[in-house]
Amino acid sequence: MNPYLLVLTSVSEKKAAEKMAQRVVDKRLAACVTVSSSGRSFYWWKDQITEDEEFVLFIKTKKELFTRIERIIQELHPYDLPEIIAVPIVKGYQKYLDWIDQETRS
């Protein structure tokens, strides 16, 4: 099993997304964070369907660093209940996975 994760979170403000991305990369907890263009999210919140513009962060990292990334997201995220989802990277281009290893620190 690969030790790699793709961590996802979304936020309504581009500046907040960029701040989270910068912090995670600066601390060497991810090799790369991609901040998407804005998109529309539809979700249940407080008994009603809500619609917001959001930016998604795609955080490329290792499983062992998830808890530290989660803490940073919780610290910087403006939402009461931030989306923090980790998806295992089952397969990937080996040179890219090696790069994740080289650029992250436990």
* pLDDT confidence bin for 106, thresholds 50/70/90: confident
Res. 1: pLDDT tops 90: no
Task: Report the length, in residues, of the chain.
Answer: 106
Res. 62: pLDDT tops 80: yes
Above pLDDT 70, what percent of the chain? 99
**Continuous segment of H or E residues that includes residue 45:** strand 39-45
Report domain extents, the chain.
4-103
Beta strands 48-62 and 32-35, pairing class:
antiparallel
Residue found by looking up tokens 């793709």 in the block:
6
Average pLDDT estimate for 15-27: 98
**Continuous segment of H or E residues that includes residue 17:** helix 14-26
Close Cβ partners of 17 (under 8 Å, ≥ 6 residues apart) = 11, 35, 55, 57
Q: What is the CATH code for 4-103? A: 3.30.70.120
Close Cβ partners of 39 (under 8 Å, ≥ 6 residues apart) = 53, 54, 55, 56
Question: What mean pLDDT is reported for the chain?
Answer: 97
Average pLDDT estimate for 27-44: 97
Average pLDDT estimate for 51-60: 98
Average pLDDT estimate for 68-74: 98
User: Phi-psi region for residue 9, left (φ > 0), alpha (ψ -120 to 50) or beta?
Assistant: beta
